[in-house]
Amino acid sequence: MAKRNRKLCKNLFVAATLILSGGILLYFLFTMGGGIETLIRISKTLQHSWLAAAVLAAVVCWVLEGFEIDLLCRHLKKGWRFSRSFTSGMIGFLYSAVTPFATGGQPMQMYSLRSMGMDTGKAGSVVALKTLIYQAVMVLYALVMVVMRLHFFQTSVTNFAFLTVIGVFTNCLFIAAVVLFMVSEKTTDRILRFTISQLHRMKLCRHPEERYQKIHSQLQVFHDASKMMGNCAPLYLTVVASATLQITLNSLIPYFIYRSFNMQGASITTMIAAQVFVAMVSAFVPLPGSSGGAESSFYLFFSLYFGSTAIFPAILLWRIITYYANIVFGGIFVYVGTKMKTRDSVS
């Protein structure tokens, strides 16, 4: 009964997330000058080849996510299959889309890897390292784009300097937290003890010592697995290269949508830079799927190219390809993952 109630609550939360995000999109589309009329007009002359390129870029990003996880998994566990890594990546996309601050993606990736045969510590190490590399590449990518297109964005985007500082700062804090978690057992242990003591004080943890010992033993396995990764430069460089390609392809999606609207003349590099900033700034909006923040950031950066009316149909297509598709196909792979757990797990 309790399991059924948890499943019902989870489904209701996903539904509420979709309604919230969909409501924001429809609000923009129907209330902002001419959005729906522009969508109807554009749909009649849409360049389907460019739209297909946008969809293909999103699919390749899914594959690259699985590829990066698979590289790290195979380093720790021989005989690991790509299908498991790809499934874990898609599950991560789903839960990142439906949880505030995208906080559910990494824990669910760890859980899925563990349920498909990876040791708890190794699964944690894989996900932590994958996340660390991706976020570090994202920040470096954004900083390079700042240097390349600084004058353009300073003169064209309101509060650009503020947005850049906030985006880089929050991402750097996240990176620092992951690094600390991976390399410092003592500091991690102190944080664990402090957190459990505070939860016990607030009467949210009934058996603090028992809870501490359980989590501490899991963290010890994680730290041991992190050490097992070792200093494998070729492995890390391959993951960095894949993450760079993944970010680039994801950042090309707005350009492909732009071309599908029969528009041209915009700089590809500038549009890639704009999407990198959108991703970095909206990543820490405290709503599932960065609802509201993602759309507002996209409007702020891309209305320069799409214009005041075409920008809203562009936001709709962009969110369908990069957000709603993650939920739909991620949900399918949650089901696939449960089948792998029961039929295809490894010892």
The amino acid at residue 346 is V
Stretch 203-223: mean pLDDT: 71
**Rounded Cα–Cα distance for residues 127 and 73 (Å):** 9
Stretch 31-42: mean pLDDT: 64
Residue 5: what pLDDT? 52
Q: Which of 96-105, 117-126, 329-338 has the lowest mean pLDDT?
A: 96-105
Radius of gyration of the chain (CA): 21
pTM across the whole model: 0.78
DSSP run (H or E) holding 248: helix 233-260
The 10 Å Cβ neighbour count of residue 209 is 10
Q: Alpha helices, DSSP H only, in 77-232?
A: 82-98, 105-115, 120-156, 160-183, 185-201, 208-229
Assign 328 a pLDDT band (cuts: 50, 70, 90).
Answer: confident
Q: Which of 71-75, 182-186, 296-300, 308-312 has the lowest mean pLDDT?
A: 182-186
Of 181 and 8, more confident: 181
Tokens 């190794």 belong to residue: 122
Mean pLDDT, the chain, whole residue set: 79
Q: Which of 52-66, 162-176, 256-270 has the lowest mean pLDDT?
A: 162-176
Assign 7 a pLDDT band (cuts: 50, 70, 90).
Answer: low
Write the CB contacts of 87 (distance below 8 Å, at least 6 apart in sequence). 66, 112, 116, 333, 336, 337, 340
Q: Which of 7-16, 154-163, 224-233, 245-254 has the lowest mean pLDDT?
A: 7-16
Q: What percent of the chain has pLDDT over 70?
A: 72
Q: Given a cut of 50, is residue 177 above it in pLDDT?
A: yes
Nearest to 146 by CA among 233, 329, 14, 273: 273
Assign 221 a pLDDT band (cuts: 50, 70, 90).
Answer: low
Q: What percent of the chain has pLDDT over 90?
A: 23
Nearest to 337 by CA among 96, 81, 120: 81
The amino acid at residue 135 is Q
Helix 233-260 and helix 120-156, axial crossing angle in degrees, nearest 10: 50
Assign 346 a pLDDT band (cuts: 50, 70, 90).
Answer: very low
Assign 68 a pLDDT band (cuts: 50, 70, 90).
Answer: very high
The amino acid at residue 18 is L
- Span 108-156, pLDDT tens digits: 898 889 888 888 778 888 888 898 888 888 888 888 887 787 777 777 7
Of 340 and 82, more confident: 82
Q: Given a cut of 70, is residue 93 above it in pLDDT?
A: yes
Q: Given a cut of 60, is residue 344 above it in pLDDT?
A: no
DSSP 54-108: HHHHHHHHHHHHHHHHHHHHHHHSTT--HHHHHHHHHHHHHHHHHSGGGTTHHHH
Q: What is the token pair recorded at 52? A: 């297909």
- Span 230-264, pLDDT tens digits: 678 889 999 999 999 999 999 999 999 999 999 99
